[in-house]
């Protein structure tokens, strides 16, 4: 089973908790997929089954039957049950247009971590995908009038780039100069800001205790916005 669009989250099990999780993810503008194998239970002469999902949205279901089972008939019965399960999947999440404007992209470098801040007009959800060379943060509903880039080159982060990701989202790409350690994220209000702190690996931070601090800040009156 392959969905027509890329999913932001795959939820295994369509019970109360799974359905509630999918509801809140969809309301936040993400694209969840619920997969469920319980419909296959009860197929004649079935012993047990196992299922797994891959990160490209596919689901594999292995069903084990008693010795001597007619495999052709068993395949038909399982396929019928799978058809019933597929019919119960939720309809595709409605198309969400990018309708929240970005206000600012900025950063500040500290000895042990680099902080990247995205300021937006309204609260947003986000999905963080860490990597050894690049950290990607998908921002559903964030509208961009242009690609925004900041060259940092502080020994940890090389560059941050905020660019469109289709019609309904933006993606923040954080290119790394060295492998990062812990990544901490949080939000602030008034105005709404998404803060991403990328930490150096512990041994690297110990080797560079007094690294020069680079920064680009924006001030509102006498108040400095982090």
The class that CATH gives domain 100-225 is mainly beta
Question: Which of 212, 217, 107, 201 has the alpha carbon at shortest distance from 162?
Answer: 107
Please, where are the H alpha helices in 4-70?
A: 16-27
- Name 65's Cβ contacts closer than 8 Å, sequence gap at least 6: 45, 46, 47, 71, 74
pLDDT in tens, 168-191: 789 999 999 999 999 999 999 989
User: Residue 14 pairs with which residues in a beta bridge?
Assistant: none
Q: Which residue has the tokens 């089954």?
A: 49
Domain ranges of the chain: 9-87, 100-225
pLDDT in tens, the chain (226 residues): 344 445 677 676 656 677 777 777 777 767 777 665 556 666 788 787 766 655 545 566 677 878 888 877 877 777 777 766 666 555 554 445 568 899 999 999 999 999 999 999 988 888 888 888 999 988 888 888 889 999 999 999 999 999 998 777 899 999 999 999 999 999 999 899 999 999 998 745 555 554 444 455 554 444 444 5
> From the CB of residue 119, how many other CB atoms can be counted at a distance below 10 Å?
18
Report the predicted TM-score, pTM, of the whole model to 2 decimal places: 0.54
Cα separation of 65 and 136, whole Å?
44
């Amino acid at each position: 089973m392959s969905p027509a669009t890329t999913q932001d989250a795959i939820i295994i099990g369509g019970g109360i908790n799974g359905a509630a999780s999918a509801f809140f993810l969809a309301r936040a503008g993400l694209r969840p997929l619920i997969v469920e194998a319980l419909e296959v239970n009860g197929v004649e002469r079935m012993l047990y089954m196992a299922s797994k999902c891959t990160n490209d949205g596919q689901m594999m279901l292995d069903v084990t039957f008693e010795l001597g089972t007619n495999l052709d008939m068993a395949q038909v019965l399982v396929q019928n049950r799978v058809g019933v399960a597929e019919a119960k999947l939720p309809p595709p999440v409605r198309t969400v247009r990018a309708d929240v404007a970005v206000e600012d992209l900025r950063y500040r470098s500290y000895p042990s971590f680099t902080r990247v801040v995205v300021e937006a007009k309204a609260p947003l959800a986000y999905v963080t995908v860490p990597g050894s060379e690049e950290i990607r943060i998908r921002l559903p509903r964030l509208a961009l009038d242009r690609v925004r880039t900041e060259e940092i080159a502080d020994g940890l982060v090389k560059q941050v780039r905020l660019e469109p990701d289709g019609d309904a989202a933006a993606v923040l790409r954080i290119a790394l100069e060295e492998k990062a350690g812990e990544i901490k994220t949080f939000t602030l209000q008034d105005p709404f800001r998404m803060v991403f702190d990328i930490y150096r690996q512990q041994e690297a931070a110990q080797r560079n205790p007094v690294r020069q601090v680079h920064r680009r800040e924006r001030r509102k009156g006498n108040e400095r916005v982090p």
